Structure 1
Amino acid sequence: MTKVLILGANGQIAREAIDLFKDRKDIQLSLFLRQAKRIQPVAPSDSKIIEGDVLNPEDLTAAVTGQDVVYANLSGTNSIEKQAKSVVTAMDKAGVKRLIWISTLGIYDEVPGKFGEWNHHMLDDGYLPNYSAAAKIIEASDLDYTIIRPAWLTNKHEIDYETTQKGTPFVGTEVSRRSVAAFVVELAENPAIEIRHSVGLNKPNTDGDQPAWY
């Protein structure tokens, strides 16, 4: 049995992941969020719901202790760097190594061409610099992390994605939240893959100057 803690469990990608995790008999979920009542309607009956704040060291360390995998589905332009530090500290204190961290495309200036210019225009106002700083904290840690850098997100009920690695150009412009969730589930079930990698995620054949739906 693999124990998986989801931080920010009420996030849209996290909810998709919960839906995919619920039929995995080899996974035991713990769902961490500020307001437990928000996730209760979709939480699997055998999951544990933990109310707490990622920026509260006592809350977070207690939740992380005893877990096998921590999946961080966190957000907050002004706080994401602090949240990254908090997660690394709590995992080090609890002796938990495996981290799956959701970030965003463009944190390494890896998106080429006109789409890269458009992405910068849309995300440069604090978003990319702060998410880049958070990723640097994760990469400087001794954790067995995987950073996921999704393309622009859709709500399509589909699983269709391809990956790129840090150091190579990002491809595609969009990907479904369910696809990101499916990749998270794959990593949780196969925790030895993509160790200390930063992985771009996109739907194949969606190249363009910006997402087609935007």
Structure 2
Amino acid sequence: MSHVLILGANGQIARLAEQQLLSTTSHQLTLFLRHASRLQVKNPSRETVIEGDATDVAALKAALAGIDIVYANLGNAQIEKQAQNVVAAMDQAGVKRLIWISTLGIYDEVPGKFGAWNHAQLDGGYLEPYTAAAKVIEDSDLAYTIIRPAWLSNKDIVSYEITHRHDAFKGTEVSRKSIADVVVKLIDDPSQAQRDSLGVNQPNTDGDKPSFY
């Protein structure tokens, strides 16, 4: 059993991962988010809620007491600052294992017409801070796994394949449930994919853009 800190615990993928962790594992969960009132605790015996901001190193360090694994489901214009503060807090607290949600395209690894479409959609304010945040994580001494999902859907399926840091990205889309499953598997076996960056897509979704566009 591990003690897991979920940063950005009200995010859609985080809520799916929380549900799966509660139903299939015995891990203890600490749910960290800016507005605690948004979250309804499902299992008080296994969940603790902390209201805090991921741009606050002191709040992060306090939340890291007794934690084995950090799963960061963060994301906004401050993502690079959040990455810097998560790394700093984990270093101060002596916690090493980090699972970090990013996005596809941060290495210009998406080929062909879909890669061009992806750049057209994400360049100019979205992709750049995610790229910078990933570099912060990769330049740290943490045992990190970066997860780069394809374009996300709410399909009720778990179906995915994985590419690695220097591979061309595959596919165009993936379900949030699939990304949650990747997260749970990494929490269950944190020795997997350390200091790696995983592209995650649903098989057989190649094309010029996701099916829902």
TM range (shorter): over 0.9
Q: CA deviation at 1:67?
A: 0.5
Q: Deviations over 1:153-190 (max 9, x none)?
A: 00011111100001110000000001000000000000
Q: CA deviation at 1:111?
A: 0.1
Aligned to 1:68: 68
Gaps of 5+ in 1: none
DSSP-derived class of the 2:24 partner: coil
For residues 102 and 20 of structure 1, the distance between their equivalents in structure 2, rounded to whole angstroms, comes to: 17
Q: CA deviation at 1:203?
A: 0.2
Q: 1:3-152 counterparts in 2 under 5 A?
A: 3-40=3-40, 42-46=41-45, 47-76=47-76, 78-152=77-151
| 1:190 equivalent in alignment to 2:189 | yes
Q: Deviations over 1:102-161 (max 9, x none)?
A: 000000000000000000000002111110000000000000000000000000111111
Deviating above 3 A after TM superposition, structure 1's stretches of 4 or more consecutive aligned residues are none
Question: What is the percentage of aligned positions where both structures have the same residue?
Answer: 60
For residues 51 and 42 of structure 2, the distance between their equivalents in structure 1, rounded to whole angstroms, comes to: 13
Q: Is the 8 A contact 1:8 1:72 kept in 2?
A: yes
Q: 1:25 to 1:162 in 2, by over 3 A?
A: closer
Q: Which amino acid letter does the alignment assign opposite residue 11 of structure 2?
A: G
DSSP-derived class of the 2:167 partner: coil
Query: In angstroms, what is the RMSD of aligned CA positions?
Result: 0.9
Q: Which amino acid letter does the alignment assign opposite residue 150 of structure 1?
A: P
For residues 53 and 39 of structure 1, the distance between their equivalents in structure 2, rounded to whole angstroms, comes to: 15
For residues 150 and 64 of structure 1, the distance between their equivalents in structure 2, rounded to whole angstroms, comes to: 26
Q: Is the 8 A contact 1:66 1:94 kept in 2?
A: no
Q: Which amino acid letter does the alignment assign opposite residue 28 of structure 2?
A: Q
Q: Which amino acid letter does the alignment assign opposite residue 20 of structure 1?
A: Q
For residues 6 and 161 of structure 2, the distance between their equivalents in structure 1, rounded to whole angstroms, comes to: 23
For residues 144 and 166 of structure 1, the distance between their equivalents in structure 2, rounded to whole angstroms, comes to: 15
Q: CA deviation at 1:24?
A: 3.4
Q: Which amino acid letter does the alignment assign opposite residue 19 of structure 1?
A: Q
Q: CA deviation at 1:58?
A: 1.5
DSSP-derived class of the 1:23 partner: helix
Aligned length, in residue pairs: 212
DSSP-derived class of the 2:18 partner: helix
Bigger mean CA deviation after superposition, 46-55 or 134-143: 46-55
DSSP-derived class of the 2:23 partner: coil
